[in-house]
Amino acid sequence: MTIEITNLHKKFGKNQVLKGVDLTIDKGSIYAILGPNGSGKTTLIKSILGMVIPNKGAISVLDTPIKKNWRYRKKIDYLPQIANFPPNIKVNELIHMIKDLRNSPSAEYQLITLFGLEPFLNKKLSTLSGGTKQKVNIVLTFMFDSPLIILDEPTTGLDPKALISLKELIQKEKTNGKTILITSHIMQFVEEVADEIVYLLEGEIYFKGSIEQLLNRTEQTDFEHAIAAITTTGSHA
Amino acid sequence: MLKILKYSFYDLIRSRWSYVYFLFYLALGFVLLFLNNDVSKAVITLMNVIIVLIPLIGTIFGVMYYYNSREFTELLLAQPIRRSSIFMGQYFGVAGSLSLSLILGLGIPFLLYGLLKSNAIFDFSLLLVTGAFLTFIFVGLSFVIAISNENKIKGFGYAVLLWLFLAVVYDGLFLMSLILFEEYPLDTFSLVATALNPIDLSRILILLKLDISALLGYTGAIFKKFFGTDLGFLVSIAILLVWTVLPILGLRHKAKKKDF
């Protein structure tokens, strides 16, 4: 098991975001974490990364409990939702800095050419467009060789060509035996890449299974409609 | 931690504000030496300026740096780095670069003037040491305030209020209480009250080393009896150390619990 989450609770002030999430993520598959806005997707991901500290419950990543631990993050490549980078440094300085901090072998050159970022390497991050920042974000995530990859809204702002490259990249990492977690609101993208769907609703796991299981359960033929219908059919997973 | 410290330090050293701060002290040092023509007198004037200015600059710089580097902090939090290392690295980066600006900015003019040959070298070093202490204390306090407040405006407000309280209001309250309770023996009270505020403590520490305590009259004599001795000096330095360590512990504690 790559990730095991038991009875995870998290509250922000009075707002109970996660209400007892139990989830196991197995090795070598692509999981899509879906759910309406504010259902707790990002909180769940940030809990796995140790950025959010849960009120209750346990998480272990690659069989190590993550509480009071930080070394396990070396096994995770994380793509944050909004590419918020320090504005005053250049793209290649940022890449160097992250490489230096992680101290792991990296393959950034192929990725830079894949996304056509060469002309931007000497530009400051504050001058880049949203889509270009996202490409930098993707390079920073995929340049390391970690067994677990977490992508929070990876498609934001990407042009069609970059989107195709991203999908190929995800499939390539899957064939390398990596486990990938994705959140996205683009159902077409999810349908293309994901093996398993985890549907969060109001801080609980409402459905977990493959796309076919989801279609059978909701009696729909189309994935997007199935997701939309998931809460109305009322069949609790 | 050292890597974070390195990046924060370089980041600040390259920023315009560090140069402004450095050049300000450089100019201040040269002007005072030329106007006073006397190292001892220049040290007194400098003390009056920096005892108020250092805490202010430390507070504002600390809060600004924390809020401006929030994105970078979030990026670092997802990396395999210990949480406390991230914040300690940033803290020492800011406090270190500010102290460097102070020490170089004031040190260069005084060295050029011939400090090494004058007997004010001890007073001058004491000034720099207390200046560095005040920098570390107030950057630490401002980091604690910033990490406890998500709202930038609130954080800024609290930090400036803290400075205002310790630099101005505290003295006012202190004086008022001396007047109100003048019938009582106040020696111990004033000693303790001075020691509890790092700004007052630094001021007294430097004043008494400068041998002008005679100007302070009776109170000065009592203060001299305590702070003027080696024991008093060591106790003062120890209190300054406690003032430095407390915000650091607070910062570590807050950093451990915070959600990003």
Average of per-residue pLDDT across A5-11: 88
**Measured in whole angstroms, how far is the alpha carbon of residue B131 from the centre of its chain?**
5
Adjacent-strand bridge partners of A56: A9
Q: Which of B1, B5, B6, B77 to mutate to test the interface with A (most CBs of A within 10 A)?
A: B77
Q: Measured between alpha carbons, how far is B114 from B218 in angstroms, rounded to an integer?
A: 35
Average of per-residue pLDDT across A94-123: 88
Q: Given this model, what pLDDT does residue A229 score?
A: 82
Q: Is A120 left (phi over 0), alpha (psi -120 to 50) or beta?
A: alpha
Q: Residue B241 — pLDDT band, cuts 50, 70, 90?
A: very high
Chain B residues whose CB is inside 8 A of the A85 CB are 71-72, 75
Q: What is the pLDDT of residues B25-79, one digit of tens each?
A: 999 888 888 887 777 777 788 888 888 899 999 999 999 989 988 878 888 888 8
pLDDT at residue B135 tops 80 = yes
The answer, for B257 touching chain A at a CB cutoff of 8 Å, is yes
Whether B75 and A85 lie within 8 Å, measured CB to CB: yes
Cross-sheet strand order for the sheet of A204-210: A76-79, A148-152, A179-183, A30-34, A196-201, A204-210
Q: Measured between alpha carbons, how far is A163 from A60 in angstroms, rounded to an integer?
A: 31
For residue B249, the surrounding DSSP H or E stretch is helix B230-257
Surface-to-core class of residue A150, CB atoms within 10 Å of its CB (0-12 exposed, 13-18 middle, 19+ buried):
buried
Q: Per CB distance under 8 Å, which residues of A are interface residues toward B? A: 12, 46, 49-53, 70-74, 76, 78, 80, 84-89, 97-98, 100-102
Distance to chain B for A77, nearest Cα, Å: 8
Distance to chain B for A47, nearest Cα, Å: 9
Whether B74 and A80 lie within 8 Å, measured CB to CB: yes
Q: Measured between alpha carbons, how far is B74 from B64 in angstroms, rounded to an integer?
A: 16
Q: Residue A58 — pLDDT band, cuts 50, 70, 90?
A: confident
Q: Given this model, what pLDDT does residue B215 score?
A: 58
Positive or negative: CA dihedral B144, B146, B150, B156: positive
User: B15-30 burial, b for 16+ CB within 10 Å, e for fewer?
Assistant: bebbeebbebbbebbb
Q: Which of A68, A65, A15 is nearest to A39 (CA)?
A: A15
| Other C-beta atoms lying within 10 Å of the C-beta of residue A165 | 18
Adjacent-strand bridge partners of A144: A106
CA atoms within 13 A on the CB side of B138: 32
Chain A residues whose CB is inside 8 A of the B72 CB are 85-86
Q: Given this model, what pLDDT does residue B34 score?
A: 81
Q: Given this model, what pLDDT does residue B98 score?
A: 92
- Please spell the DSSP secondary structure of chain A, one letter per residue: --EEEEEEEEEETTEEEEEEEEEEE-TT-EEEEE-STTSSHHHHHHHHHTSS--SEEEEEETTEE-TT--GGGGGEEEE-SS----TTSBHHHHHHHHHHHH-S-B-HHHHHHHTT-GGGTTSBGGGS-HHHHHHHHHHHHHTB--SEEEEESTTTT--HHHHHHHHHHHHHHHHTT-EEEEE-S-HHHHHHH-SEEEEEETTEEEEEEEHHHHHHHHT-SSHHHHHHHHHHH----
DSSP for residue B167: I
Q: Which of B258, B246, B250 is nearest to B73 (CA)?
A: B258
pLDDT at residue B193 tops 60 = yes
Structure tokens at B103: 């020490």
Distance to chain B for A159, nearest Cα, Å: 24
Q: Measured between alpha carbons, how far is B149 from B258 in angstroms, rounded to an integer?
A: 11
Count contacts between A and B (CB, < 8 Å): 59
The answer, for B252 touching chain A at a CB cutoff of 8 Å, is no
The answer, for B79 touching chain A at a CB cutoff of 8 Å, is yes
pLDDT at residue B141 tops 90 = yes
pLDDT at residue B245 tops 90 = yes
Average of per-residue pLDDT across B221-241: 79
B78: nearest CB among A71, A73, A88: A73
Average pLDDT, chain B: 85
Q: Measured between alpha carbons, how far is A229 from A42 in angstroms, rounded to an integer?
A: 22
Whether B77 and A80 lie within 8 Å, measured CB to CB: no
Q: Measured between alpha carbons, how far is A58 from A5 in angstroms, rounded to an integer?
A: 6
Question: How much is the pTM?
Answer: 0.86
pLDDT at residue B208 tops 80 = no
Q: Residue B160 — pLDDT band, cuts 50, 70, 90?
A: very high
Q: Measured between alpha carbons, how far is A225 from A16 in angstroms, rounded to an integer?
A: 28
Average of per-residue pLDDT across A3-16: 88
Does domain A3-233 fall under CATH 3.40.50.300? My reply is: yes
Q: Given this model, what pLDDT does residue A237 score?
A: 46
Positive or negative: CA dihedral B9, B250, B67, A12: positive
Contact A149, A180 (CB under 8 A): yes
Question: Three-state SS for B207?
Answer: helix
A70: nearest CB among B7, B82, B258: B82
Least reliable range by pLDDT among A185-199, B127-141, B197-211: B197-211
Q: Residue A233 — pLDDT band, cuts 50, 70, 90?
A: low
Chain B residues whose CB is inside 8 A of the A102 CB are 79-80
Q: Which of B9, B70, B75 to mutate to test the interface with A (most CBs of A within 10 A)?
A: B75
Q: Given this model, what pLDDT does residue B174 score?
A: 85
Q: Given this model, what pLDDT does residue A214 score?
A: 85
Q: Given this model, what pLDDT does residue B211 score?
A: 65
Q: Could you identify the residue written with the tokens 């609703």?
A: A201
Distance to chain B for A101, nearest Cα, Å: 7
Positive or negative: CA dihedral A126, A128, A131, A137: negative
Q: Which of A111, A136, A134 is nearest to A122 (CA)?
A: A136
- Nearest 5°: the CA angle A101, A106, A111 is 120
Q: Which of A7, A22, A36 is nearest to A183 (CA)?
A: A36
Q: Given this model, what pLDDT does residue A112 score?
A: 92
Q: Given this model, what pLDDT does residue B125 score?
A: 85
Pairing of strands A56-61, A64-65: antiparallel
Pairing of strands A76-79, A148-152: parallel
Phi, psi of A159 (to 5 degrees): -80, 165
pLDDT at residue A38 tops 60 = yes
Q: Residue B212 — pLDDT band, cuts 50, 70, 90?
A: low
Adjacent-strand bridge partners of A16: A11
pLDDT at residue A87 tops 80 = no
